[in-house]
Structure 1
């Protein structure tokens, strides 16, 4: 039974299985600066959630690092950004499975139940997931590279509950003895320019450069230093992330399960992608970062 059908296939990423697999493989192969994580056992990561043509290479960098680390992953705990109104608490998907072009991804009911039963922060709500794209775009990567893995999708709004959600999730995961869990947060970074009504450093290339080199950088530094509260604050008040709740939860989760630091794998902006791939410019831009903890 599939409880969550695709809403972005054919726009954010290919809708056909063969095309999806081909694009993912191509993105992985193009990651020529793949980083070897020696003496580093990752517990969590941050990936973007825009269309693959803009940020698929960033997501690929994270999955390349995961594959090189050779860690075993049975369940992906997914913390997603919230673009819809009315999601006031971390919302756990309580259905059976998610659809992807590559195949069905089952939901790990044990972890979903543990999150809700062991913490008042979480609530079960599958309805809000059906119209939210932030976790859908990463699921084909998971299905292609970890075909037997399950997921536990959670939407995390930017509230004070976010940090506690990460802490409580870590405690819940410790109760699962027969599954290796890896946490992924989904968030884009600074949305800058006329389109987003946010241009404190002016318009055009100079403003887009500020968005990446100043605003994004401060958020990334908070993340890699494992400061979940700063991640949440900067994302909200400096508008440097559309999913600060998800990232804050992942950072705190990683800290609770033993991570000491984060590593930035790749950081780009749609302004750069458009300039490079389409030979034109834009007065707006969105940031994308791949970080591993």
Structure 2
């Protein structure tokens, strides 16, 4: 199947040159890493990032921090496993798919062999295109990856995983099987957990709640992430994808986690009464 973009022209520009300009703006922005990605390193081990998925004007500079780190740690052919929450309610509880996704920078191919193996080995994961048809959380990550291709930093295929079910056991199961398939297929990978943090709360309250989950991610404590989100009523849409990514990365040998940048929509809108939190994090 070929999937067309659903939020191009809304969350990010739909035209090639405008999108290129916007992504460069995200990198060079004061809230961004302040420099463009460049080819610096070779792939040595799996990399995980937490990346926001709001409109680029709000969260793009924060996301750019994670993609800058990716650019410094990869080379050759990479499979990007992108796990996002299902906001639409369409399709299966947890699902991947095969095929191609279109972006303004050109087509992005799914690693069909990886997706197929994931589906066969993970009992709770379905092969379901409907889960992905209207969902933005994975789509908004793709232009950043395609931009790294444009800069000849690496070549990407990807594996989309949409999660409506975010109970702890399901998240751990998905993470476990991702790591298992990575080892079986000997892929060079990055795992991207797509999430925003607190939604529509006052700045002070949002940043305080988000700091709790960020601490759990820094400690690679997948169980505490779940417990704290539930206990403190944190309106983080993609805690399940983060738990799955942390579990997979730990199984693949990750021992360290870093907060690259935290910000809120209030820093763009200047309205601090109802903000959304965004964090870029690195796990390796």
TM over 0.5: yes
Partner of residue 108, structure 1: 111
Q: Structure 2: which 5+ residue stretches go unaligned?
A: none
Q: 1:3 to 1:70 in 2, by over 3 A?
A: closer
Between the aligned partners of 1:88 and 1:262, the Cα distance in structure 2 is: 31
Give per-residue Cα distances to partners, 1:15-60, cap 9 Å, x unaligned. 10111112112222333467999xx955211100000000100111
Q: How far, CA to CA, are the matches of 1:41 and 1:181 in structure 2?
A: 8
Equivalent-residue separation in structure 2 for 1:267 and 1:146 (angstroms) = 26
CA-based RMSD of the aligned residues comes to 2.2
Report what 1:266 is aligned to. Answer: 261
| Offset of residue 190 of structure 1 | 0.5
CA deviations 1:150-191 (Å, max 9, x no partner) are: 1100012312301111111100111113x3111101000001
In the TM superposition, what is the alpha-carbon distance from 1:70 to its structure 2 partner?
4.2
**1:186 aligned residue:** 194
Q: Equivalent residue for 2:120?
A: 117
Q: Cα 1:163–1:73, aligned 2, differ >3 Å: closer, same or farther? A: farther
Q: Is the 8 A contact 2:95 2:125 kept in 1?
A: yes
TM-score normalized with structure 1 length? 0.85
Check 1:33–1:226 CA distance in 2 against 1; reply closer, same or farther (3 A cut).
farther
CA contact (8 A) 2:203 2:272 kept: no
Q: Distance between the aligned counterparts of 1:117 and 1:7, measured in 2?
A: 28
Quote the residue 1:200 is aligned against. none
Q: Number of residues paired by the alignment?
A: 269
Q: Which runs of 5+ in 1 are unaligned?
A: 194-206, 276-280
Q: TM-score, normalised by structure 2?
A: 0.88
Distance between the aligned counterparts of 2:230 and 2:57, measured in 1? 27
Question: Are the aligned partners of 2:192 and 2:245 in contact in 1 as well (CA < 8 Å)?
Answer: yes
Alignment of 1:52-67 (within 5 A): 52-67=56-71
Does 2:211 correspond to 1:211?
A: no
Matches within 5 A, 1:242-281: 242-275=237-270, 281=271
Is 1:3 aligned to residue 11 of structure 2? no
Following the alignment from structure 2 to structure 1, what is the Cα–Cα distance between the partners of residues 278 and 91?
A: 24
